[in-house]
Amino acid sequence: MSTAIAFLTRRKGGKFWHWTDIVTWVWLIGGLIVMFGPAVWLTFSSFKTPAGLAEFPPSLLPYVTQQVRVEGYEKPLPLFNAKLADGSTRVLAEVRRIGIVSQMVDPKAPGEIIKVRIGDREPVREISFATENYTQPFMQFDFFRYLWNSVFVTVTATLITLIVNSMAAFALSKYEFKGRNAAMLVILATLMVPLSVILVPLYSIISSVGLFNSLWGVILPTVATPTGVFILRQYMLTIPDELIDAARMDKASEWQIYWRIIVPLTAPALAVLAIFSVVWRWNDFLWPLIVLSRRELYTLQVGLSIYSGELNVQWHYILAMTVVTMIPVVLVFIFLQRFITTGIAGSGLK
């Protein structure tokens, strides 16, 4: 144990703890709590019953009142720790409540009714995971259909994004032609246009080209990302032109240069773009919600929104489905994470 501590506290050059080390670890541990804590809490909360969710102060773990079957009563009764008139505390089951008086029985001797003021009783609670928050939506809504739609949108949009953006970035970084700067300027300027600003006109365009209620209506408007072109172009600028000239000498066609030289060399930047594209498309909400209104076309994000009614929101389902939709992105990230730093480091993103 002491060696482990010695190992963990060992510092470069065998020096002792410097104040910067303390700052470092405070920052890291603090970061761990602040960054992960909320998501962990969300996950625990997703196992609470609707009543449990509305409770204050909220508990970390999902608790419910313990129930017990008592002879002579049809339904299971809730258990309470009741303080009796003589000052003793007993575990009693509540039969009914009339106003501020609770009528209780001893589960072991159910004959006698004991009256307790409701302020003098505390529910006996046990941890119980409300897994029906997960199973109900799975049965009720066509989960696998939505999952498939989400996967289809995410994968297709990402592939098209990668191909189309990298082709454009290739043209913008390796060819001299009239209007190149203009094209670049337009792309940069629109980098700043948020979707919510062009929502209405975009909607009218989608519906006039007949992409309304179609997954392609979700995919197409998002694939020509200015950010993607921008990142890839910056990366491609660092690829020496000599490589391309040499290939041309060898009679390679422009297409082959693009596919055989540029794309492999841009792989780290493409990986970065791929990760972001997957995260963006998977999490897209506002736009799919507007384009898709038929249930066989719903993506997961749209599917989980059906629990928001006019007057009530069914939070227990929304939280559970949120956790479910989080899982794939986290998996993708774990899978591709080592590309992210190499990609950003190499791209000289600037």
Site for other proteins contains 15 (CB under 8 A): no
Helices 226-237/315-347 angle, 10° precision: 20
Structure tokens at 333: 């990230």
Longest dimension (CA), the chain: 101
Q: How far is the CB of 72 from other proteins (least distance, A)?
A: 18
Judged by CB under 8 A, the residue of 97, 115, 122, 135 near other proteins is 97
**Contact map string, positions 243 to 262, toward other proteins, x by CB under 8 A:** ----------xxxx-xx---
**Whole-number CA gyration radius for the chain:** 30
C-alpha to C-alpha distances, 208 to 204, 290, 303, nearest whole angstrom: 6, 15, 25
Residues 145/298, Cβ–Cβ less than 8 Å: yes
Structure tokens at 130: 């409300």
Judged by CB under 8 A, the residue of 188, 245, 246, 335 near other proteins is 188
Q: Which residues, listed in sequence order, are joined to residue 106 by a DSSP beta bridge? A: 109
Q: How far is the CB of 67 from other proteins (least distance, A)?
A: 11
Residues 123/155, Cβ–Cβ less than 8 Å: no
Q: How far is the CB of 64 from other proteins (least distance, A)?
A: 11
Q: How far is the CB of 252 from other proteins (least distance, A)?
A: 10
Minimum CB distance to other proteins smaller for 91 or for 279: 279
- The distance from CA 315 to its chain's CA centroid, rounded to whole angstroms, is 16
Structure tokens at 276: 């972001």
Return the range that interacts with other proteins (CB under 8 A); candidates 84-92, 104-112, 147-155, 277-285.
Answer: 277-285
Return the range that interacts with other proteins (CB under 8 A); candidates 26-34, 81-89, 127-135, 148-156.
Answer: 26-34
The C-alpha atoms of residue 290 and residue 306 are separated, in whole angstroms, by 13
Structure tokens at 13: 């050059």
Return the range that interacts with other proteins (CB under 8 A); candidates 83-91, 106-114, 150-158, 181-189.
Answer: 181-189
Minimum CB distance to other proteins smaller for 88 or for 249: 249
Site for other proteins contains 135 (CB under 8 A): no
According to DSSP H, which parts of the chain are helical?
2-9, 19-45, 50-53, 132-140, 143-174, 180-190, 195-208, 215-223, 226-237, 241-249, 254-256, 263-265, 267-283, 286-291, 300-305, 315-347
Q: Which of residues 139-178 bind other proteins (CB under 8 A)?
A: 140-141, 163-165, 167-168, 170-172, 175, 177
Q: Which of residues 307-326 bind other proteins (CB under 8 A)?
A: 307-312, 314, 318-319, 322, 325-326
Q: Which of residues 109-128 bind other proteins (CB under 8 A)?
A: 118-119
Minimum CB distance to other proteins smaller for 84 or for 267: 267
Minimum CB distance to other proteins smaller for 36 or for 148: 36
Minimum CB distance to other proteins smaller for 144 or for 255: 255
Residues 191/229, Cβ–Cβ less than 8 Å: no
The C-alpha atoms of residue 154 and residue 279 are separated, in whole angstroms, by 8
Q: Which of residues 189-218 bind other proteins (CB under 8 A)?
A: 189-194, 196-205, 207-210, 212-214
Q: How far is the CB of 277 from other proteins (least distance, A)?
A: 13
For 11, the 3-state DSSP assignment is coil
Return the range that interacts with other proteins (CB under 8 A); candidates 23-31, 108-116, 126-134, 150-158.
Answer: 23-31
Judged by CB under 8 A, the residue of 94, 218, 273, 299 near other proteins is 94
